[in-house]
Amino acid sequence: MISCLCSICLLMSCKEAKEPIAAETKNVVQDTVMQTSGKKTMGASQIAQLHKQATAILTYRLENKPEKHAIIDVGVWEYEAAFKEGAMSKPGEFAGHWIDFSENGTYEMGVYNNITGSGRFHYDNDTHLLLLVNNDEKMKPEEYELKLMQNVMIMMGKSTYQDNGFQAKLLKSDKRPTK
């Protein structure tokens, strides 16, 4: 199934994006790749409420399933392609975008040498769900189902925090990309 997803991702990456990325998306510092259209439809109070709920869920999951998973926290994950808001990314569009998971349950994300966000995460090996709660309370939480195979990660957004319009293919690297 994973090889099928990778094949689909590779086939889809050949398509041109139908709409150019809005200038406002490029100007938002923490909108590296994963912030989806869900953020655009939510008000600040709704995001604050979701952030509070997700923090409680994260705390519960960390207390009840604290195991570590070297499969995601060894190395850095670089974005190769993404399907977002109904369009496939153009080749090279996300060059330099990365997310780095640490063994202590924290993550950082960025573009080349710039760290654009950080927070805490929980990955459940049984359900394959990844919950990300950004340290910035103005950023909505995110939840993804992961498909992992060797040095490839496919992230599929879940509807929990309106991330279901997002999918990405990431490749494992030994270090963060530099420019």
- Beta-bridge partners for 162: none
CB 54 within 8 A of CB 38: no
Give backbone dihedrals phi and psi of 175, rounded to 5 degrees, phi first: -145, 165
- In a domain, residue 5? The reply is no
Angle at 99 between CA 122 and CA 73, to 5 degrees: 50
How far apart are alpha carbons 130 and 119 in whole angstroms? 13
The pTM for the full model equals 0.78
| Number of domain units in the chain | 1
Please indicate, yes or no, if residue 23 is contained in any of the structural domains.
no
Kindly state whether residue 24 falls inside one of the protein's structural domains: no
- The token pair that represents 43 in the structure block: 């008000």
pLDDT for the residue 37: 46
Q: What is the mean pLDDT of each run of 10 residues along the chain (179 residues)?
A: 39 37 36 53 89 96 83 91 87 92 94 95 92 95 94 94 91 93
How confident is the model at residue 17, as a pLDDT? 36
Query: What distance, in Å, lies between the first and last C-alpha atoms of the chain?
Result: 35
Q: Which helix (H) or strand (E) holds 49?
A: helix 44-64
CATH of the domain at 119: 2.40.128.370
> Is the residue at 12 inside a domain?
no
Residue 15 lies in a domain: no
Domain that holds residue 81: 33-173
Answer whether residue 8 is part of any domain: no
Residue 40 three-state SS:
helix
Asked if the structure places residue 13 within a domain, the reply is: no
pLDDT (0 to 100) of residue 39: 54
Distances (CA, A) of 163 to 8, 158, 179: 19, 5, 29
Tell me the β-bridge partners of 177: none
Give domain status of residue 26, yes or no.
Answer: no
